[in-house]
């Protein structure tokens, strides 16, 4: 059976995550890939040993993963196995020429300019045959409030231990991955706003050497936000971008490409845009697989 990785972005993310984690979903996908356009009797015969199959089938139709038309069932999303998408060299050069030593600029460019340029709030769902593709996409996670936000852009197949990713995991529900065990022991399911409040207090008092144990300080060290030096002082390690920060960034070649991609069907353009962003990210951050920063 092919190893399919599913990518989606809808208001039903939590439900879709549960569905795609169900082994039965992979079996249905494989069956309908090999035998598309089948009738209900064929489906039921293929999965007669599966309890509550009717209920699961109704879920797939409800969330538009299956299409039922003229009493026949087909997958309602594409599965990509490879890509013939080539990024024009002038687009890559455009990003290369913007490189600066300051990490803050790279974070602003990739997180606050290019991400919203490529990705808007639209529903999509597609699969990628991992056995025929070596693609590695990135996910942007943001948590916080209007006073302070934590942002992480990390590989979607690896949850880096960051504040943004931790609160994202909590919001998804279910069991917290073992990589976040230390954080869970420190702060549990603390409210995001309260965590932001404590973080702001800590950032304002960084110059004071406070030897008293502070679980929020320890959590910020665990997530790579702070680092404790040999003298016992804490130093901020993440770039901080002022929320009012603005700079003119001109990417005419990239914008032209995005305009052309926007003419494609939604699943195909999201597949291509994810490839494009990954390439541009690693073009700019040639030695980084992920970035995290704070907006204050």
Q: Which residues of 174-207 are buried (b: 16+ CB within 10 A; e: fewer)?
A: eebeeebeebeebbeebebeebbebbeebbeeee
Helix or strand run (H / E) with residue 52: none
Coil, helix or strand at residue 136: coil
- Within 8 A by CB and 6+ apart from 217, the residues are 202, 210, 226, 234
* Residues β-bridged to residue 143: 150
**Tens digit of pLDDT at every position of the chain (296 positions):** 578 899 999 888 889 999 999 999 999 999 999 998 899 999 999 999 898 999 999 999 999 999 999 999 999 999 998 776 789 999 999 999 999 889 999 999 999 999 999 998 889 999 998 776 667 899 999 999 999 999 999 998 888 999 999 999 998 887 889 999 999 999 999 999 999 999 999 988 886 665 566 899 999 999 999 998 887 788 899 999 998 888 888 999 999 999 999 999 999 999 999 999 999 999 999 888 899 999 99
- Within 8 A by CB and 6+ apart from 236, the residues are 203, 206, 225, 226
Concatenate the DSSP letters of all residues of 220-262 into one string.
HHHTTSEEE-TTS-EEE-S-EE-TT-------HHHHHHHHHHT
Structure tokens at 79: 């599965």
Per-residue pLDDT of 184-225, as tens digits, reads: 999 999 999 999 999 999 988 886 665 566 899 999 999 999
CA distance 81 to 166: 31
Per-residue pLDDT of 7-18, as tens digits, reads: 999 888 889 999
The fold adopted by the segment(s) 4-77 is: Arc Repressor Mutant, subunit A (1.10.10)
CA distance 268 to 246: 32
Whole-structure pTM over 0.85, yes or no?
Answer: yes
- Domain limits, the chain: 4-77, 90-123+135-296
């Amino acid at each position: 059976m092919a190893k399919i990785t599913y990518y989606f972005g809808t208001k039903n993310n939590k439900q879709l995550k549960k569905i795609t984690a169900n082994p039965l979903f992979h079996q249905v996908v494989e069956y309908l890939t090999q035998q598309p356009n089948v009738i209900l009797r064929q489906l039921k015969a293929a999965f007669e040993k599966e309890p509550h199959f009717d209920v699961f089938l109704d879920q797939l139709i409800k969330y538009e993963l299956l299409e039922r038309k003229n009493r026949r069932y087909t997958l309602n999303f594409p599965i990509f196995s490879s890509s013939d998408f080539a990024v024009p060299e002038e687009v890559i050069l455009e990003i290369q020429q913007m490189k600066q030593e300051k990490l803050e600029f790279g974070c602003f460019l990739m997180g606050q300019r290019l991400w919203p340029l490529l990705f808007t709030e639209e529903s999509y769902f597609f699969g990628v045959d991992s056995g025929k593709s070596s693609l590695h996409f990135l996910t942007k996670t943001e948590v916080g409030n209007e006073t302070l936000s934590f942002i992480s852009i990390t590989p979607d197949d690896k949850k880096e231990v960051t504040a943004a990713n931790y609160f994202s995991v909590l919001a998804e529900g279910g069991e917290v991955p073992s990589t976040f065990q230390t954080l869970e022991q420190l702060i549990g399911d603390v409210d995001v706003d309260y965590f932001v409040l404590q973080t702001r207090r800590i950032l304002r008092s960084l110059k004071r050497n406070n030897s008293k144990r502070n679980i929020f300080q320890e959590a910020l060290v665990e997530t790579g936000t702070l680092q404790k030096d040999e003298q016992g002082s804490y130093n901020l390690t993440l770039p901080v971008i002022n929320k009012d920060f603005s700079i003119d960034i001109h990417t005419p070649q990239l914008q032209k490409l995005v305009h052309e991609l926007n003419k494609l069907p939604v699943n195909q353009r999201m597949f291509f845009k994810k490839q494009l962003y990954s390439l541009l990210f690693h073009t700019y951050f040639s030695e980084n697989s992920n970035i995290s920063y704070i907006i204050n």
